[in-house]
Copies of this chain bind each other. A is one copy, B any other.
């Protein structure tokens, strides 16, 4: 398994030099998050991920979770690592101090999550789902529910889940069958089967708090008749747990990857549940935390891409094979290290450009999350909310698609050894492969971006973002080093608007045009977004070099990677643009039955 080293230099570059988190934290009143405190947290988090989580990643994949008579056992070391995580206070890092959290900014929590998932994606699922449940209860729970559940979830004594999917529906939650029948005591009897429930059952915590979507007896049909319930594995009693509730894990799935994450079939047999938020508004409750969850899922592409890159670079420097086309580079050895070969570098630089570009995208978006949560200014909050709404589907889908490409490239660098489980490179591909699927498939993200966000706002959310790029390009149009790239970005930024108008016009006549264009439109948008972020990073690097500050090799590498991105990855926009413009006819003209011919 590639040994994970947290990329602290790159993290610091983004938060200190590119996005100025310290200023942002100060402006938002996050007074605890001083630069010194942030530095200490990052270093301590890195140590935990490198020394505790990374070493049990490969073994976790081999052992998988085991199910027996409803009891799920996680792989060796998982439980102990969770205890250490809780002990270290990591679980409540960004949680509300009113319920036992440390109240640090969400962006900082997200960076810690990045290191956790890079080191061990399967393990990351357990705290990840808990954080999802915490957000839901924080946003929609009563004070009593918060005192009862949120405090213990924050403490890490209990963990949480999100129970949405059923055997016959995942995307289409309007047709769920799980029922909630009101009881005399104000609680509800929940009955139904939920599938794909991450962390639904395990041996890490005293209690598991399920957040369950279900329908009341008189609920309207469709998504407007869904309510959200808290269904604990053990009913709370006093300071701890009481009676076992009628919820059980019927089996766990055997999956392609994230094998140490328990993916459970959960059976609710008249289990006692408590309504959270308003009746029939359950889906809205879910949506309020979706931006955060989707950004987290997008980061899975970054995290596994990063882990894969680290393995691939080490291997490319160690593995001797063939001579450089320009003559031997290590004449004293039987062959040259494969990093001398241009095609190996193409693979490494593709990974590097995606990873670092995606990290910039994630941190920029996380900064908007902080502003949306904390700013005193309604105007700033609205602007941040709009950016979040627009960027979230791009984060989720673009980062997972490019992350999957990165993990596949990392494996390819290893040649035949990449296919062997022992090396751990193929595990990263398998662990990453779920990311384009769950938390809303990338097809759904694309519809969300183009249909709901861009066209649904009459272009307003798009313009809010392209205006940032436009201003940037105006400001840098004459930059001595980057003017060619700035001009290319400006051209694409304008084309983006024009392309959107074309699709919008076509969609007014035929709604299928949205679905036909969506995925390619999203990828196109992602490539342009990363181009802007790459130029922002390059400008900082260039300034540092001009000023003679810091580690020049690091900054030179940023410039070279930006150059690579513009020359070899950004041109993919052209293929996506053509696909968007192809329209829906070439997809819809055939009757469904012809597909099998």
Q: Which of A65-73, A276-284, A380-388, A576-584 contacts B (4 or more CB under 8 A)?
A: A576-584
- For the complex, what is the distance from the CA of A447 to the CA of B346, rounded to whole Å? 14
Among candidates B441, B584, B590, B595, residue contacting A316 with C-beta atoms closer than 8 Å = B595
A313 adjacent to B346 (CB under 8 Å) = no
Known: A171-B322, A172-B322, A557-B597. A339 touches B592 (CB 8 A): yes
What are the nearest 10 A-B pairs in CB distance?
A: A571-B578, A342-B515, A567-B582, A256-B426, A325-B511, A342-B516, A343-B443, A345-B587, A572-B575, A574-B574
Is there a chain B Cβ closer than 8 Å to A165's Cβ?
Answer: yes
Which residue of B515, B564, B583, B597 is within 8 Å of A554 (Cβ)?
B597
Decide if A434 is an interface residue (CB 8 Å cutoff).
yes
B515 in contact with A429 (CB, 8 Å)? no
Nearest CB in chain B to that of A336: its residue: B172
Determine, out of A204-212, A416-424, A456-464, A491-499, the stretch whose residues face the partner at the interface.
Answer: A416-424
Question: How far, in angstroms, from A335 to B168 measured CA to CA in the complex?
Answer: 10
The yes or no answer to A341 lying at the interface (CB within 8 A) is: yes
Cα-based distance from A437 to B425 in the complex (angstroms): 13
The docked-state distance in angstroms from the alpha carbon of A568 to that of B587 is 10
Q: Give the shortest distance, in Å, between A21 (CB) and chain B (any CB).
A: 21
0/1 string, A138-182, CB within 8 A of B gives 1: 000000000000000000000000000100111110010000000
Cβ B587 vs Cβ A349 within 8 A: yes
Q: Is the CB of B574 within 8 A of A170?
A: no
Given known pairs A168-B320, A256-B429, the reply for A568 and B592 (CB within 8 Å) is no
Given A335-B172, A556-B590, A419 and B434 contact (CB-CB distance below 8 Å): yes
Contact A514 B9 (CB under 8 A): no
Contacts A325-B515, A574-B571; is A196 near B594 (CB within 8 Å)?
no
**Min CB–CB distance A457 → chain B (angstroms):** 18
> Residue among A342, A345, A441, A590 with the most chain B CB within 10 A?
A342
Verify if A372 is at the interface (C-beta below 8 Å from B): no
User: What bracket does the count of chain A residues touching chain B fall in?
Assistant: 35 or more
How many copies of this protein are present in the complex? Answer: 2
A564 touches B587 (CB 8 A): yes
Asked if A563 lies at the interface with its beta carbon under 8 angstroms from chain B, I say: yes
What are the residues of chain B within 8 A of A254 when measuring CB–CB?
420-422
Contact B594 A567, beta carbon cutoff 8 Å: no
Known interface pairs A415-B441, A416-B438, A590-B556. Does A172 touch B321 (Cβ–Cβ under 8 Å)?
Answer: yes
The distance in angstroms between the C-alpha atoms of A588 and B326, with both chains bound, is 11
Question: A170-B415, A412-B441, A511-B326 are contacts. A334–B595 as well, Cβ < 8 Å?
Answer: no
Least CB distance, A593 to chain B, in whole angstroms: 8
Residue of B nearest to A196 (CB): B416
Q: Other than the known A165-B416, A341-B443, what 20 A-B pairs have Cβ atoms closer than 8 Å?
A: A9-B597, A169-B321, A171-B321, A171-B415, A196-B416, A339-B595, A341-B515, A342-B515, A342-B584, A343-B447, A344-B443, A408-B433, A411-B433, A412-B443, A554-B597, A556-B594, A557-B595, A560-B586, A567-B579, A574-B578
Closest to A507 in B: B325
Cβ-closest chain B residue relative to A258: B419
User: 7 A–B contact pairs at CB < 8 A?
Assistant: A325-B514, A339-B592, A344-B443, A412-B443, A419-B433, A567-B586, A571-B578
Q: Which residues from B are CB-within-8-Å of A93? A: none
Chain B residues positioned under 8 Å from A346 (CB to CB):
516, 519, 587
List of B residues within 8 angstroms of A563 by Cβ: 586, 589
Cα–Cα distance between A229 and B145 once the two chains are bound (Å): 75
Is A317 an interface residue, CB under 8 A from the partner?
yes
The verdict on A352 contacting chain B, using a C-beta distance below 8 Å, is: yes
Is A340 positioned at the interface, with any CB of B under 8 Å from its CB? yes
